[in-house]
């Protein structure tokens, strides 16, 4: 079924209220979190995004093939599948995980049951198993049946899909997924737009290499490539251009420079990290404390 190029919202029957509660500001009461609004957006040549809660899901729905990237959480994965079924009766030909974090893999078990093949970087299963063991959620997991070291490529219907590992960044198992004919790259959590990112050092993250890989990705693709982001500041799009990736590279460069200056001035980690905003990036969502701490640890780590 041909896909509309306009953004569409999955029907209200798919929208549910998130189960988590958030504290109210008065008397310690709790109020329900706002309803999750599952949204499909077509980008180009049968490739698009799905947002609800968690990391952005990418999809390709062609006349003779379906590819899905990431799975969010169990409840939102079901919303995604329900919306997908209204557009195609095919099974998912290839299901790819960009990395192991639960907001990208929590719905794996559901999507895996509807997929022919599941693919991820070779480091991803071990990281996911370690995460599941710590959270005691082993029974809720689904893992890839095919992994790769450097890159994976397949002709899927009339699209050519490549997953590529650029070395450690957000974790030590992140990949970018390229839909060649559509000229769309799903960056997973290698790209946060206008919000402070998680730098998962226990899972092998490297800010220095993250800077390098953002440069490398932009050099490998054209000026008109569309990039899908893992996350974006509330109210901002989860897609963008080369300029967005280079802006995120500059954020990390400024982050390391700020922390290094503090270290050189003899400041403690506590002094360096306790700031409300990173200079030059005051509009970013969240506080930079955790990101600054990870930068401090990277810069002071013994070789």
> Which pair of structure tokens corresponds to residue 297?
């640890």
Residue 59 in contact with residue 68, Cβ under 8 Å?
yes
Nearest to 177 by CA among 239, 252, 246, 98: 98
Residue 192 in contact with residue 75, Cβ under 8 Å?
no
Q: pLDDT band at residue 31, thresholds of 50, 70 and 90?
A: low
Nearest to 145 by CA among 173, 101, 170, 108: 108
From the options 2.40.110.10, 3.30.70.600, 3.40.50.800, 3.60.15.10, give the CATH code of 8-16+32-300.
Answer: 3.60.15.10
Q: pLDDT band at residue 34, thresholds of 50, 70 and 90?
A: confident
% of the chain residues with pLDDT over 90: 87
Domain residue spans of the chain: 8-16+32-300
Residue 22 has pLDDT above 60, yes or no: no
Instruction: Give per-residue pLDDT as tens, 141-177.
Output: 999 999 999 999 999 999 999 999 999 999 999 999 9
H or E stretch at 154? strand 151-156
Residue 16 has pLDDT above 70, yes or no: no
The model carries a pTM of 0.90
């Amino acid at each position: 079924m041909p896909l509309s190029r306009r953004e569409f919202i999955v029907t209200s029957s798919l929208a549910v209220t998130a189960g988590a509660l958030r504290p109210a500001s008065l008397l310690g009461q709790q109020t329900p979190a706002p309803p999750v609004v599952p949204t499909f957006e077509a980008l180009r040549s049968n490739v698009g995004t799905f947002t609800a809660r968690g990391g952005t899901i990418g999809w390709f729905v062609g006349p003779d093939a379906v590819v899905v990237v990431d799975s969010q959480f169990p409840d939102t994965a079901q919303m995604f599948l329900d919306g997908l079924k209204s557009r195609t009766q095919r099974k998912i030909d290839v299901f790819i995980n960009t990395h192991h974090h639960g907001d990208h893999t929590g719905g794996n078990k559901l999507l895996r049951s509807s997929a022919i093949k599941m693919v991820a970087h070779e480091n991803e299963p071990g990281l996911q198993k370690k995460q599941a063991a710590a959270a005691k959620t082993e029974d809720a997991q689904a893992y890839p049946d095919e992994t790769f070291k450097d890159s994976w490529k397949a002709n899927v219907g009339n699209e050519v899909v490549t997953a590529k590992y650029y070395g450690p960044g957000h974790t030590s198992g992140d990949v970018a997924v390229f839909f060649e004919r559509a000229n769309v790259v799903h960056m997973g959590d290698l790209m946060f737009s206008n919000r402070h990112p998680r730098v998962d050092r226990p899972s092998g993250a490297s800010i220095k290499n993250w800077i390098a890989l953002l440069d490398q990705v932009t050099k490998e693709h054209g000026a008109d490539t569309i990039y899908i982001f893992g996350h974006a500041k509330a109210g901002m799009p989860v897609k963008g251009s080369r300029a967005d990736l280079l802006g995120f590279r500059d954020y990390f460069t400024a982050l390391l420079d700020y922390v290094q200056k503090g270290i050189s001035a003899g400041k403690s980690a506590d002094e360096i990290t306790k700031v409300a905003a990173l200079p030059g990036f005051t509009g970013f969502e969240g506080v930079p404390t955790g990101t600054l701490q990870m930068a401090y640890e990277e810069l002071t780590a013994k070789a």
